[in-house]
Amino acid sequence: MTWGLLLQAVVSGLLLGGVYGLVASGLSLIFGVLRIINFAHGAVMMLAMYTTYWLFALAGVDPYLSVILTAPLFFVLGVVIQKVVIEPNRSAAEHNQLLLTLGLALFFENLALVLWQGDFRTVRVAYSNASFMIGEALVEVPRLVASAGAVLMAVGLFWFLRLTDVGKALRALAEEPEGAALVGINVSRIRAASFGLGSACVAVAGALITPFFYVAPDVGESFNIMAFVVVVLGGMGNFVGALAGGFIVGLAESLGAAFLPGSLKQLVVFMIFVLVLLFRPQGLFGGSRDR
């Protein structure tokens, strides 16, 4: 274990961590407002990645530019899913709501499998291989852009929640559902918007990673699990915590990869997950509502 390798691990971890943070922010937002753990989050990301891929392959749209299309598109998809599937079941038992999103995840993942088969696809752009060095560590430009873009989006989300009326309504609904209804907030619309926004976040994350990550029906699964870990670590409903948690998990994963053989790095992440759930379920930074 040389310092160079360690530095590389830290750099890689921070780069991917930004993306984890954005994915988790979306999940956290959905949980904060709707109180459901959205198993379909990763599947939506996967669909966004395919959308980005097809826009690139068929129309030559640059993946970063396509975000302008993908984000609103998946906002709408999120709203539709929420209104059609989730909202009608809002009073169902908690575990049933979980199964609902699981069913959606299975449906979307396998829809992709049926339509586009399981072959890996990649988006190769001119800058896919661009990179530079920081000391002994290699920084790949697409990863840097993805991380920076993710952080930007997460920060943008944070300010949106702080400053806009819709944002404040979202936070109000997350904190005090009955009170929010009493002060005239259109609860059903805001609930739909939360799912839409969460989906838009994860869609942007997906688009941003296509220049360096393979596109396949199961790509969402691994990000799903990571998102759960990050959200639990950062605190359910805590958006800033999600971003911070993203970096922590990204670091843990890449340091795990540096020290452990094979794919055992995943073990590190799962153990963090279990330990946090057992001993600090409100997350490192505290959630919007303690369990």
Partner 1 sequence: MIAKAAGALAVTALIALPPLLPKYHLEVLISVLFWAYLGIAWNLLGGYAGQFSFGHAAFFGIGAYTSTLLLLQVGLTPWVGMILGGGLAAAFGLFEGYLSFRYGLKGPYFSLVTLAFAEMLRVVGVNTKAVGSSLGLVVPSTRAAPEMFMFSGKLPYYYIILAMGALALALTWKIGRSRLGFSLAAVRENEDAAETAGVDALATKLRAMALSSFLTALGGTFYAQYFAYIDPTITFGPSVSIGALLPAIVGGAGTVLGPILGSFVLTPLSELTRYALRGRAGADIMLYGAILVLVISFLPQGIVGLVRERRARAGQR
Per CB under 8 A, 244 contacts partner 1: no
Interaction residues for partner 1, span 204-223 (CB under 8 A)? 217, 221
Q: How far is the CB of 200 from partner 1 (least distance, A)?
A: 22
Instruction: Provide the mask over 139-168, with x wherever binding to partner 1 is found by CB under 8 A and - wherever it is not.
Output: ------------------------------
Among 73, 98, 166, 284, binds partner 1 (CB under 8 A): 98
Among 68, 106, 134, 148, binds partner 1 (CB under 8 A): 106
Q: How far is the CB of 221 from partner 1 (least distance, A)?
A: 8
Query: Closer CB to partner 1, residue 109 or residue 140?
Result: 109
Q: How far is the CB of 156 from partner 1 (least distance, A)?
A: 29
Query: Closer CB to partner 1, residue 78 or residue 142?
Result: 78
Q: How far is the CB of 167 from partner 1 (least distance, A)?
A: 26
Per CB under 8 A, 273 contacts partner 1: yes
Both tokens of 67, joined, read: 């975000």
Per CB under 8 A, 258 contacts partner 1: no
Q: Which residues bind partner 1 (CB under 8 A)?
A: 37, 85, 88-89, 92-100, 102-114, 117-118, 217, 221, 225, 228, 232, 261-264, 266-267, 270-271, 273-274, 277-279, 281, 291
